[in-house]
């Protein structure tokens, strides 16, 4: 079975040299086990944190060991009573072709509602992150003004649509003309800022939110957070989901320089990790299914083929190669 291992820890931007492909033998399965062949795997910005030395809220990846992450595969052999050959399952052992399991931490999935890979995106971890951030952290009320950074990404694009479904005014930011077009056209948000073509993000945000913003869904940190604090209304909320602009930093980031605005504007700023909210998963799924069925949530996938191209797909997240959820199809 082919697998991708961490060859070295990135210093700044990750490169292909930080990864290596190896081949390992999979031992025969025992009673109570089943064998899965991965068909899809997810690459996610949080994996950059796991490539650093030292555990954060998730353990660090080890050098010369395979990476891990969300994946969807088919059971190809089973000696387990509840997982049968041909079943699709969601697991956490991406970055490899095959894995053996006793079923712990593995979720059966069906393609009745959406293609199976949607359980790595809109119906999975990234969709739920958007939902938790707005419903559990921001307690978003109807008709608020919401700013979402990395708005065309997996989490951001779902956050934009959940907010639109609550009749909010939604302003997004993204880094490419094609993404701007998709967000204002297909996704239908109210205004989009191309942050790469703006030298004053605060001015751009203020222009689109003359009455201020009530909620900032932060995927980016740095200058985006600084602009959001500047334009935030009193008693507004910053949902701290991620800060991708800092993940490859070799020096601590300078912005936000205006953190005192949290005090003067009585801003509530709260970070969260989606994994802490798994007890809400049923409610999330019910609501997301209903949003999908009523066409209030649509999604896009960027697909790279071949396990050997997973490192490139991961690296591409930091240059914005993806529109919507970045996936790797394992042939
Ligand atoms: P995305 O699909 O949004 O992919 C990353 C996107 O970020 C890129 O497409 C790129 O879009 C943008 N980006 C990359 N570098 C920068 C930069 N320096 N400045 C501004 N934008 C940048 O990834 P996800 O949806 O999976 O993740 C989005 C965020 O959510 C991340 O910060 C991630 O860590 C966080 N997250 C948090 C979770 C939690 O539990 N708290 C769970 C899951 C994700 P563009 O072309 O617009 O630059």
- Using the mean position of ligand 1's atoms as its centre, give its distance from the Cα of residue 161 in Å: 16
ipTM: 0.99
Ligand 1 pocket check: which of 148, 242, 269 to mutate, most ligand atoms within 8 Å of Cβ?
242
Atom of ligand 1 nearest to the CA of 322: 9
Whether residue 150 has its Cβ less than 6 Å from ligand 1: yes
List, for residues 24-64, the tens digit of each pLDDT value.
999 999 999 999 999 999 999 999 999 999 988 899 999 99
Q: Does the pLDDT value for residue 3 go beyond 90?
A: yes
Whether residue 322 has its Cβ less than 6 Å from ligand 1: yes
Q: Does the pLDDT value for residue 316 go beyond 90?
A: yes
Please tell me the distance from the alpha carbon of residue 181 to that of residue 59, in angstroms, as a whole number. Answer: 38
List, for residues 160-194, the tens digit of each pLDDT value.
999 999 999 999 999 999 999 999 999 999 999 99
Q: Which residue has the least CA distance to atom 10 on ligand 1?
A: 320
pLDDT at res. 106: 98
List, for residues 193-244, the tens digit of each pLDDT value.
999 999 999 999 999 999 999 999 999 999 999 999 999 999 999 999 999 9
Residue 304: asked if its preceding bond is cis (omega within 30°), the reply is no
Please tell me the distance from the alpha carbon of residue 261 to that of residue 206, in angstroms, as a whole number. Answer: 16
Average pLDDT value for residue range 78-100: 98
Whether residue 258 has its Cβ less than 6 Å from ligand 1: no
- Using the mean position of ligand 1's atoms as its centre, give its distance from the Cα of residue 244 in Å: 5
Whether residue 152 has its Cβ less than 6 Å from ligand 1: yes
pLDDT at res. 331: 84
Average pLDDT value for residue range 55-82: 96
Model pTM above 0.90: yes
Whether residue 223 has its Cβ less than 6 Å from ligand 1: no
Q: Which residue has the least CA distance to atom 19 on ligand 1?
A: 245
Q: Are 67 and 11 in contact (CB under 8 A)?
A: no
CA-based nearest residue to 217, from 278, 137, 274: 137
- Using the mean position of ligand 1's atoms as its centre, give its distance from the Cα of residue 125 in Å: 13
Domains belonging to the chain, first-starting first, are: 2-120+300-329 (3.90.180.10), 125-275 (3.40.50.720)
Ligand 1 pocket check: which of 155, 239, 246 to mutate, most ligand atoms within 8 Å of Cβ?
155
Please tell me the distance from the alpha carbon of residue 173 to that of residue 196, in angstroms, as a whole number. Answer: 9
Q: What backbone phi and psi angles, to 5 degrees, belong to 153?
A: -80, -175
Whether residue 155 has its Cβ less than 6 Å from ligand 1: yes
Confidence of residue 245 (pLDDT cuts 50, 70, 90): very high
Cα dihedral value 107, 110, 113, 116, nearest 10: 80
pLDDT at res. 55: 85
Q: Does the pLDDT value for residue 314 go beyond 90?
A: yes
Largest CA distance in the chain: 64
Please tell me the distance from the alpha carbon of residue 224 to that of residue 29, in angstroms, as a whole number. Answer: 49
Q: Does the pLDDT value for residue 118 go beyond 90?
A: yes
């Amino acid at each position: 079975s082919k697998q991708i291992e961490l060859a070295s820890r990135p210093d700044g931007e990750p490169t292909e040299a930080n990864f290596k492909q190896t081949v390992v033998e999979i031992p025969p399965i025992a009673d109570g086990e089943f064998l899965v062949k991965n068909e899809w795997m997810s690459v996610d910005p949080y994996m950059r944190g796991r490539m650093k030395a030292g555990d954060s809220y998730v353990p660090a990846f080890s050098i010369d060991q395979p990476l891990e992450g969300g994946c969807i595969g088919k059971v190809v052999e089973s000696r387990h009573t509840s997982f049968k050959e041909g079943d699709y399952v969601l697991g956490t052992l991406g970055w490899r072709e095959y894995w053996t399991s006793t079923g712990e931490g593995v979720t059966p999935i069906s393609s009745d509602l959406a293609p199976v890979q949607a359980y790595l995106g809109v119906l999975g971890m990234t969709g739920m992150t958007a939902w938790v951030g707005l419903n559990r952290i921001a307690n978003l009320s109807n008709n608020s003004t919401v700013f979402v950074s990395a708005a065309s990404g997996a989490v951001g694009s779902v956050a934009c649509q959940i907010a639109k479904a609550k009749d909010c005014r939604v302003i997004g930011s993204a880094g490419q003309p094609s993404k701007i077009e998709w967000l204002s056209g297909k996704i239908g948000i109210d205004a989009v800022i191309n942050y790469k073509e703006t030298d004053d993000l605060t001015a751009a945000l203020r222009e689109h939110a003359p009455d201020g913003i009530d909620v900032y869904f932060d995927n980016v940190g740095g200058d985006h957070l600084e602009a959001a604090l500047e334009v935030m209304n009193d008693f507004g909320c910053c949902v701290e989901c991620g800060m991708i602009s800092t993940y490859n930093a070799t020096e601590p980031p300078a912005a936000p320089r205006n953190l005192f605005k949290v005090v003067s504007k009585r801003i509530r700023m709260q970070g969260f990790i989606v994994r802490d909210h798994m007890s809400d998963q049923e409610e999330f799924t019910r609501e997301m299914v209903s949003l999908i069925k009523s066409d209030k949530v649509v999604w896009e996938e960027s697909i790279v083929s071949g396990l050997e191209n997973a490192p490139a797909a991961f690296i591409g997240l930091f240059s914005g190669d993806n529109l919507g959820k970045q996936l790797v199809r394992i042939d």
